Amino acid sequence: MKVNIKKISELSGFSPATVSNALNNKKGVNHDTAMQILAIAKECGYITENKIKSIKLVIYHDSGKILSDAPFFNNLLESVTTACRENGMEAKLVNLYRHDADYEQQVERLLEDPSAAILLVGTELNENDAKTFAQTDIPLVLLDCNFADLPFHAVLMENRHSVSRAVSYLASLGHERIGYLQGDVSSPNGDERYEGYEQGMAKHNLTVEKKYLFSLPVSITGAYEYFDGLIAKGVELPTAFVAYNDMVALGVMQALQKHHIRVPEDVSVIGFDDIEFSAVFAPGLTTIKVHTKELGELAVQKLLHLAKNPGSIHTKTQMYTDFVVRGSTAAPAAD
């Protein structure tokens, strides 16, 4: 008979809920009870060091716009795959599309496979769908996303402070009218970055003006076409922008240059990610560098540790970013 939560409940005399909470190190189970349940789980083979044979790299898609052809995610996935191989683990790529008719069945199959740990790329994940993954007994690490009220092991980049620091840099150059270029798709990262923008503006007693806030497609071409149209209509521009990501920033820079609006002399621009295009674009893009390779490696290491130590306390690991100054930023032009 397959050993599962129900079987451990029968053997231990504790309820399935108590067993699940103990195995996932959740609150509400005293130490002695938890140790008893863990001992039974090991004795009956539910917990074994060799239980996990592979890592499923699960990419959750909602709109698909954020993940579509973005260099940042391609680099991240390559890093994860390499780290799995170096640790002797097979990496299996699974694309999970929220709007598929059999989405719930796909999730159920994922969470019923005890031979594979899950690295869940949750960039487009919403909190409601995340609840199902938070309840699994399968070793799972959430990558590039986190939810404050859900007990995930998570690895992600630092968003708020990174953007706040970008605003502070612009303020130090003398900019007061600083706008924000948001992606047109909601995401936890996007929300945190906008919060960082607001925090940076408040820190320097600068006013957030709605006329300088724009929601754009999250691709270079999409951002370019959208902002090209706005400029053609005579939109009022601030002296500087912070963008949700490099793709948006580069698209807007192209549109500005098409209309002979100089970067950075007329408008300064800061991106986020430091994709390869950022360094070779003219002018080079000032941006927030995410250490993509290390982010993927850290997530894999955390997942391997969790696979060997299923009762580990839930932790969130944030990786700091670097601020890279290039030619797209300068002091505002004198009036």
Among 150, 156, 92, CA closest to 122: 156
pLDDT per residue as tens digits for the range 265-295: 999 999 999 998 899 999 999 999 999 889 9
Same structural domain for residues 177 and 254? Answer: yes
Q: What are phi and psi of 18, to 5 degrees?
A: -65, -40
Residue 26 pLDDT exceeds 80: no
Average pLDDT (233-237) is 97
For residues 152 and 183, state if they share a domain. no
In this structure, is residue 138 part of a structural domain? yes
Task: Please provide residue 316's backbone torsions phi and psi, each rounded to the nearest 5 degrees.
Answer: -115, 125
Residue 197 contacts residue 180 (beta carbons within 8 Å): yes
Q: Report whether 50 contacts 26 (CB < 8 A).
A: no
Q: Is residue 333 part of a domain?
A: no
Q: Is the pLDDT of residue 68 over 60?
A: no
Single-letter amino acid code for the residue at 40:
I
Peptide bond into 188 cis (omega under 30): no
Rg of the chain over Cα atoms, rounded to whole angstroms, equals: 23
What band does 62 get if pLDDT is binned at 50, 70 and 90? confident
Compute the average pLDDT of residues 244-254. Answer: 96
Within a domain: 262: yes
Based on the domain organization, do 111 and 64 belong to the same domain? yes
Residue 279 in any domain: the answer is: yes
Q: How far from chain centre, in Å, is Cα 185?
A: 14
- Within this chain, do residues 272 and 304 fall inside the same structural domain, yes or no? no
Q: Please tell me the predicted confidence (pLDDT) of residue 233.
A: 97
Tokens of 237: 């521009």
Number of domains the chain is built from: 3
pTM over 0.85: no
pLDDT of residue 192: 94
pLDDT for 25 equals 59
| 138-147, 153-162, 284-293: least confidently modelled range | 138-147
199 within a domain of the structure (yes/no): yes
Beta strands in the chain (DSSP E): 54-61, 90-97, 116-121, 140-143, 153-157, 178-183, 213-216, 240-243, 268-270, 287-289, 316-319, 322-324
In a domain, 297, yes or no: yes
Rounded to the nearest integer, the mean pLDDT of the chain is 89
pLDDT score for 165? 98
Residues 164 and 265 occupy one common structural domain: yes
What is the pLDDT at residue 197? 98
Phi, psi of 91 (to 5 degrees): -105, 125
- In terms of average pLDDT, the best of 101-105, 128-132, 151-155, 264-268 is 264-268
Taking residues 240-247, what's their average pLDDT?
96
Same domain, 275 and 301: no
Residue 264: name the closest of 330, 167, 180, 170 by CA. Answer: 330
Residues 279 and 238 in one domain: yes
> What tens digit of pLDDT does each residue of 28-39 get?
788 788 888 878
Same domain, 176 and 101: no
322, 288 contact by CB (below 8 A)? yes
